[in-house]
């Protein structure tokens, strides 16, 4: 088959009818217009020297706030079914802040692109703190305001994005906002986010929403060796980064092994946390190789790991890596999905891959094409094995502010010149458009 571009259509296996194809972004990473909203913890974090590698902030970012019609036109031309974006809680807290999302949702609907908002993607209002239990209730109130305003045009919702990373990087290690280095004293942050998720599901249901999920990050954990110290460390890492955030939502309980670390009042919250979901979102990038702890500080993927952790992160040898240093292991996506099905069985809702992608330079980004091609094939293998997967979202539509990396890492299908804000579709954009046309 050939497309009207003259290129041969990618030979990706056929996905089921109704499979949801999309791309993802987040508010803080692309919107800009920071002066037109209340401050977030990320605004405070990036104002501190040394927090972001290139010293940048997201005050302007991709200026999506002012350029959203151009970006929606790119989505329409790409041919995606859906666009996953996030709503900035600090913007909603500002006078007229929801008006922007009214305009964005209207533009998406007019272009035939289904809006899929994420209600929290790390940009907590600066006045709030996930260490405080009341933040969960405040989140539910905010969700109600958003859903009542947009629910007549939005029928698919995501409560939280990657609470594991927000807990680990933002509160345990301090490499992301709000920059706290609490190690295991950060566990209340995990619980309060999960409680906020459950309360948000209830708030959404109360407004009539009937298609709700969460976007959790997951990846297989592999021990550095068969030595007991390495396998025990890997098991504990898997507990913290995978099971801690999946099992309360799916099974209504925290995994064994965390009892002595969690506060005693969490049991009464688990019924709320386990409010039934319509689907379960997984953000997948790479597996992790884990070994026994090492003395002193260590570094992994450019991130400093403080002493006192009961594990150490090791490089996966013999595989290619992205320019971020992340290992490229497509078959680990199949492994992850089949493992979820085996672990959770009938309790597991249908899965949507809510993020998958890689960083890389250049407009002729053949490396990204190879990455996405291999991961779509791995995803199809999981489907053939019987895993119920309903959709796939590429991270990301466009290059953007990559958190503590600043603008040094580019994940987009569309190149952004941050000086001029010019958008240039990359080779991967054209490739993904061909994939979508071939799937129709």
Largest CA distance in the chain: 63
User: Of residues 162, 247, 275, 335, which has the active-site annotation?
Assistant: 162
Q: How far apart are CA 322 and CA 405, in angstroms?
A: 14
Q: How far apart are CA 196 and CA 231, in angstroms?
A: 33
Alpha-carbon distances, residue 101 vs 79, 115, 253, 274 (angstroms): 21, 10, 35, 29
165 is catalytic: no
Is 285 annotated to bind a ligand? Reply is yes
162 is catalytic: yes
Is 89 annotated to bind a ligand? Reply is no
Is 283 annotated to bind a ligand? Reply is no
* Residue carrying the six token digits 């129709």: 440
User: Of residues 38, 247, 275, 355, which has the active-site annotation?
Assistant: 355
CB 272 within 8 A of CB 199: yes
Is 121 annotated to bind a ligand? Reply is yes
* Binding-site residues from annotation: 29, 121, 161, 285, 395, 402-403
Catalytic positions, written as ranges: 162, 355
* Binding-site residues from annotation for substrate: 29, 121, 161, 285, 395, 402-403
């Amino acid at each position: 088959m050939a497309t009207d571009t003259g290129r041969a259509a990618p030979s990706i296996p056929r996905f089921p009818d109704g499979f949801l194809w999309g791309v993802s972004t987040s508010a803080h990473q692309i919107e800009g217009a920071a002066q037109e909203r209340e401050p977030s913890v990320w605004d405070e974090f990036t104002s501190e020297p040394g927090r972001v590698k290139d010293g940048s902030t997201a005050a302007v970012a991709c200026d999506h706030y002012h350029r959203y019609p151009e970006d929606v036109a790119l989505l329409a031309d790409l041919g995606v079914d859906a666009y996953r974006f996030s709503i900035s809680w600090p913007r909603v807290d500002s006078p007229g802040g929801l008006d922007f999302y009214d305009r964005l949702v209207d533009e998406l609907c007019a272009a035939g692109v289904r809006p899929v908002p994420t209600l929290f993607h790390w940009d907590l209002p600066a006045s709030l703190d996930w260490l405080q239990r009341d933040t969960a209730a405040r989140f539910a109130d905010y969700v109600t305001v958003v859903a009542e305003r947009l629910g007549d045009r939005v029928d698919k919702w995501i409560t939280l994005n990657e609470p594991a990373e927000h807990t680990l990087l933002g509160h345990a290690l301090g490499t992301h906002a709000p920059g706290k280095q609490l190690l295991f004293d950060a566990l209340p942050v995990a619980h309060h986010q999960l409680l906020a998720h459950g309360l948000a599901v209830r708030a959404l249901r109360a407004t009539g929403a009937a298609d709700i999920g969460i976007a959790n990050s997951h990846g297989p954990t592999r021990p550095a060796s068969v030595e007991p110290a390495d396998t025990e460390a890997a098991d504990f890492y898997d507990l913290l980064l995978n099971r801690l955030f999946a099992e309360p939502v799916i099974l209504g309980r925290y995994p064994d092994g965390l009892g002595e670390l969690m506060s005693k009042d969490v049991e009464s919250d688990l019924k709320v946390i386990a409010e039934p979901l319509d689907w379960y979102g997984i953000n997948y990038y790479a597996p992790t190789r884990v070994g026994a702890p090492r003395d002193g500080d260590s570094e992994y993927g450019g991130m400093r790991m403080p002493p006192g952790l009961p594990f150490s992160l090791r490089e996966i040898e013999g595989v290619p890596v992205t320019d971020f240093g992340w290992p490229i292991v497509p078959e680990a996506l199949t492994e992850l999905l089949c493992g979820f099905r085996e672990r959770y069985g009938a309790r597991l809702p249908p899965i949507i891959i809510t993020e998958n992608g890689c960083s890389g330079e250049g407009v002729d980004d053949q490396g990204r094409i190879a990455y996405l091609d291999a991961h779509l094939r791995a995803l199809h293998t999981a489907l053939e094995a019987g895993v119920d997967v309903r959709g796939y979202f590429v991270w990301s539509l466009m290059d953007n502010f990559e958190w503590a990396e600043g603008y040094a890492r580019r994940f987009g299908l569309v190149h952004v010149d941050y000086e001029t804000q010019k958008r240039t579709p990359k080779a991967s954009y054209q490739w993904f458009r061909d994939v979508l046309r071939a799937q129709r």
